[in-house]
Amino acid sequence: MNLSAYAATINVPLGFDSIAVALLGNLNPLGCIFSSFLITIFQKGAVYMGSATGVVREIASVITGILLLFSSLGDFIKAKAERYSQQMTFERESREEAER
Protein backbone atom coordinates (compact mmCIF):
# COMPACT_ATOMS: atom_id res chain seq x y z
CA MET A 1 0.00 0.00 0.00
CA ASN A 2 1.46 3.33 -1.07
CA LEU A 3 0.87 5.88 1.73
CA SER A 4 2.68 8.71 -0.03
CA ALA A 5 -0.24 9.10 -2.45
CA TYR A 6 -2.59 9.71 0.48
CA ALA A 7 -0.23 12.04 2.32
CA ALA A 8 -0.16 14.47 -0.60
CA THR A 9 -3.94 14.97 -0.46
CA ILE A 10 -4.10 16.28 3.13
CA ASN A 11 -5.44 19.82 3.20
CA VAL A 12 -3.37 21.74 5.77
CA PRO A 13 -5.56 24.88 6.15
CA LEU A 14 -8.50 22.65 7.06
CA GLY A 15 -7.30 22.57 10.68
CA PHE A 16 -7.19 26.35 10.94
CA ASP A 17 -10.66 26.66 9.45
CA SER A 18 -12.13 24.05 11.79
CA ILE A 19 -10.69 25.85 14.84
CA ALA A 20 -12.16 29.10 13.51
CA VAL A 21 -15.55 27.44 13.04
CA ALA A 22 -15.53 26.04 16.58
CA LEU A 23 -14.53 29.36 18.13
CA LEU A 24 -17.05 31.40 16.15
CA GLY A 25 -19.77 28.91 17.01
CA ASN A 26 -18.87 29.05 20.71
CA LEU A 27 -18.60 25.23 20.68
CA ASN A 28 -22.34 25.03 20.13
CA PRO A 29 -23.37 22.53 17.41
CA LEU A 30 -25.91 24.89 15.85
CA GLY A 31 -23.47 27.80 16.07
CA CYS A 32 -20.78 25.69 14.41
CA ILE A 33 -23.10 24.93 11.50
CA PHE A 34 -23.79 28.61 10.89
CA SER A 35 -20.17 29.66 11.36
CA SER A 36 -19.04 26.94 8.93
CA PHE A 37 -21.39 28.45 6.33
CA LEU A 38 -19.85 31.87 7.00
CA ILE A 39 -16.27 30.58 6.63
CA THR A 40 -17.25 28.70 3.46
CA ILE A 41 -18.78 31.86 1.99
CA PHE A 42 -15.52 33.71 2.73
CA GLN A 43 -13.41 30.99 1.12
CA LYS A 44 -15.58 30.60 -1.99
CA GLY A 45 -15.98 34.35 -2.31
CA ALA A 46 -12.22 34.77 -2.20
CA VAL A 47 -11.84 32.35 -5.11
CA TYR A 48 -14.45 34.26 -7.09
CA MET A 49 -12.88 37.63 -6.24
CA GLY A 50 -9.49 36.30 -7.24
CA SER A 51 -10.70 35.21 -10.64
CA ALA A 52 -12.92 38.24 -11.30
CA THR A 53 -10.80 41.11 -9.99
CA GLY A 54 -7.32 39.73 -9.45
CA VAL A 55 -7.41 40.02 -5.63
CA VAL A 56 -5.27 37.38 -3.90
CA ARG A 57 -7.15 34.45 -2.40
CA GLU A 58 -5.42 34.75 0.97
CA ILE A 59 -7.66 37.72 1.77
CA ALA A 60 -10.23 35.19 3.05
CA SER A 61 -7.76 34.00 5.69
CA VAL A 62 -7.11 37.59 6.73
CA ILE A 63 -10.84 38.29 7.02
CA THR A 64 -11.33 35.08 9.01
CA GLY A 65 -8.50 36.07 11.35
CA ILE A 66 -9.96 39.54 11.89
CA LEU A 67 -13.37 37.99 12.56
CA LEU A 68 -11.83 35.67 15.15
CA LEU A 69 -10.00 38.57 16.76
CA PHE A 70 -13.16 40.63 17.20
CA SER A 71 -15.11 37.58 18.31
CA SER A 72 -12.61 36.82 21.05
CA LEU A 73 -12.39 40.49 22.03
CA GLY A 74 -16.09 40.42 22.91
CA ASP A 75 -15.53 37.63 25.41
CA PHE A 76 -12.42 39.35 26.75
CA ILE A 77 -14.22 42.64 27.31
CA LYS A 78 -17.14 40.86 28.98
CA ALA A 79 -14.76 39.07 31.36
CA LYS A 80 -12.93 42.31 32.16
CA ALA A 81 -16.22 44.12 32.87
CA GLU A 82 -17.37 41.30 35.14
CA ARG A 83 -14.07 41.34 37.02
CA TYR A 84 -14.24 45.13 37.41
CA SER A 85 -17.82 44.87 38.70
CA GLN A 86 -16.80 42.28 41.29
CA GLN A 87 -13.87 44.43 42.39
CA MET A 88 -16.09 47.50 42.79
CA THR A 89 -18.65 45.49 44.77
CA PHE A 90 -15.92 44.20 47.06
CA GLU A 91 -14.51 47.69 47.63
CA ARG A 92 -17.96 49.11 48.33
CA GLU A 93 -18.75 46.35 50.83
CA SER A 94 -15.40 46.82 52.59
CA ARG A 95 -16.02 50.61 52.86
CA GLU A 96 -19.47 49.97 54.31
CA GLU A 97 -18.02 47.59 56.90
CA ALA A 98 -15.31 50.11 57.82
CA GLU A 99 -17.93 52.80 58.38
CA ARG A 100 -19.86 50.63 60.84
Contacting residues for 46 by C-beta, under 8 A, at least 6 apart: 55, 57, 58, 59, 60
Distance CA 53, CA 8 (A): 30
What are the extents of the domains in the chain? 4-99
Residue numbers of the chain with a pLDDT score lower than 70:
1-14
Q: Distances in Å between the alpha carbon of 92 and those of 37, 46, 79, 81, 95?
A: 47, 53, 20, 16, 5
Q: What pLDDT is stored for residue 47 in this prediction?
A: 83
Which is nearest to 25 in space by CA: 11, 36, 12?
Answer: 36
pTM: 0.62
